[in-house]
Amino acid sequence: MSNELAKVLRRFEERLAHLESEIHSGPTHWKRFHLHNALDALEDDHTAADLHLDEFDRVELAREFPELEADRVPTVEELRARFDTIAGGML
pLDDT cut 90: percent of the chain above it: 8
Q: Could you tell me which residue, 85 or 24, shows the higher pLDDT?
A: 85
* pLDDT at res. 33: 85
Q: Could you tell me which residue, 48 or 2, shows the higher pLDDT?
A: 48
* pLDDT above 80: residue 60: no
- Predicted confidence band at 72 (pLDDT cuts at 50, 70, 90)? low
pTM score, two decimals?
A: 0.61
What are the Cα distances from residue 30, in Å, to 8, 54, 55, 76, 86? 19, 12, 9, 18, 28
